[in-house]
Amino acid sequence: IPLDIVYEDADIVVVNKPQGMVVHPAAGNHSGTLVNALLHHCGESLSGIGGVIRPGIVHRIDKDTSGLLIVAKNDFAHLHLAQQIKEHSFTRAYETVVYGNIKEDSGTINQPIGRNPKDRKKMAVISGGREAITHFSTVCEYKSFTHAKMELETGRTHQIRVHMSYIGHPLVNDFLYGNRVEGKSYYLQCNSITFPHPRNNELITISIKQTI
């Protein structure tokens, strides 16, 4: 399974995950996952905190989301990266296309997210959910769509998709939280991550070219 490795050292590896690849094995997806590819590339050099199914996986991105994902090659790095995510010192920038024109050029959505009580496959903004903070800014507006940049402070499941749907601008072709065009998938790419290196605290920013 080919891997697009953007950065690698003794503690971490940063990969550019393609759209359509599942991060770790689960029901219906036992092979062809990012973890399968990482196990072939790294051998036993992955942290064990995530268990046998999720070795090295500190955070994840959805199957149809592409872009940068950082993987821990040892438990020391895993614990430090997990703490960074908890403290919001690990930031991720995304680009996407949503329906409609967003009224504000930039803003912040600070709404808690939890499991949708009416549909267990979906997440939703609900009272009592976990803190979720998304910053957005407009890159370019079209007649019926907006190309937008997103920056996450937190990393809740489907966070960008839920928050943008909540403010009335779901991702184009989002099959769970908006309208879907048959045969198409939404565009959401993590094209920049910034974090203190777990070994020496040096601030690192890794970016890739957006593909929209």
Which amino acids are annotated catalytic?
62
Q: Which residue has the tokens 């991550």?
A: 193
Burial of residue 106 (number of CB atoms within 10 Å: 0-12, 13-18, 19+)? exposed
Nearest to 40 by CA among 59, 15, 69: 15
Amino acid at 138: T
DSSP state string for 101-121: --SSSEEEEE--EEE-TT-TT
Nearest to 65 by CA among 182, 164, 151, 186: 186
